[in-house]
Amino acid sequence: MTRRGEFELIAEVFRPLAEGDPLAFDLGDDAALVPVPPGNHLVVTTDAMAAGVHFTADTAAVDVGRKLLRVNLSDLAAMGAEPLAYTLTVALPRDLPDEWVEGFAQGLRADQTRYRVHLIGGDTIAAADLVLSMTMLGRVERDSELRRGGAQPGDTLYVSGTIGDAGIGLRATRGELPDLDPDARAFFLDRLLHPSPRLRLGRALVAVASAAIDVSDGLLADLGHLCEQSGVAATIRLDDVPISPHAAELGGDGMDRLSSGEDYELLFTAPTQQRDAIAGVAGRLGIAITAIGAIAEGVGVRVVDADGNAIAVERGGYTHF
């Protein structure tokens, strides 16, 4: 096992990720500069991942890097923002092999090229546990940001993509689904490890949606957050919640999907007259967008079956404490 020192790590592993952004000064200065176009706000979001909580020893370092970048980008997508740059704080156990950090950086490199962002700074410390914290910076035109608080009674509730795949992937990694065929397993693991931040969708929704949130904790939990911020109630039609063909094959309890997290799809609301505009966005971007319910006056989230009868809601989403 080799172990570089702090400054070797920064110079050899992280500095290459700053190449291409001249205002990162090759990670050689005390801080970086981020120009923000006139008429825009800087958008700031942080997400951290800890070994044993967000990933296990089996998770490849390259996938940890990719996921950390993507979940941060997903928060920008949910604000209707465009990424600018990111910073990274790594707390590394002293016995963590260099190869792990190199693999992690490889994952960052692959996806920062794909999403056109660069690393511009951070901090590197030793700690008892492996913790990786990223701060993503973005921009959005002033007063155009998507917020959780804008949903109005009468709005339609939409979700992008399919719901529940990452949760099935998580169960597969825990050995709970030994009979999955290899194709399905690969699909679910891909959905778990490489979520697609809906950046282009978020940008397109700026002029269309009344409220938005990304689905990280589970559809029910995240819709609960949106409703709370908006001061409204919501009804979900369970049968309309979109699921992938692989998930459909598995069958099972539809309510599970509503509380399974980490899909990183966008959940959003829009006035009914935006229906055609939303269909247009879906077609133009090649992203499935499905109407799954409606917003009403009141509080709380209701789930109904095909006949409109209420289904009891027991499970919440993931919480840390």
Interface with ligand ADP (CB under 6 A): 10, 14, 27, 29-30, 88, 90, 119, 121-124
Tell me the closest approach of the beta carbon of residue 119 to ligand ADP, in angstroms.
5
CB 147 within 8 A of CB 214: no
Region near Mg ion per CB under 5 A, out of 77-85, 116-124, 269-277, 279-287: 116-124
Amino acid identity at 182? P
Residue 123 engages Mg ion in binding (rule: CB under 5 A) = yes
Measured at the alpha carbon of residue 243, what is the angle toward residues 240 and 246, in degrees to the nearest 5?
150
User: Which of Mg ion, ligand ADP, none does residue 27 bind (CB under 5 to 8 Å by kind)?
Assistant: ligand ADP
Q: Which two tokens mark 100? A: 């792990």
Tell me the closest approach of the beta carbon of residue 72 to Mg ion, in angstroms.
20
Whose Cβ is closer to Mg ion: residue 27's or residue 270's?
27
Determine whether 88 is exposed, middle or buried from the number of CB atoms within 10 Å of its CB (0-12, 13-18, 19+).
buried
Tell me the closest approach of the beta carbon of residue 138 to ligand ADP, in angstroms.
18
Q: What are phi and psi of 96, to 5 degrees?
A: -75, 125
User: Which of Mg ion, ligand ADP, none does residue 195 bind (CB under 5 to 8 Å by kind)?
Assistant: none
Q: Give the residue at shortest CB distance from Mg ion.
A: 123
The sign of the dihedral angle between the CA atoms of 224, 227, 231, 236 is negative
Whose Cβ is closer to ligand ADP: residue 8's or residue 29's?
29
Tell me the closest approach of the beta carbon of residue 91 to ligand ADP, in angstroms.
10
Which residue carries 């923000």 as its tokens?
36
Task: Report helix, strand or coil for 207.
Answer: coil
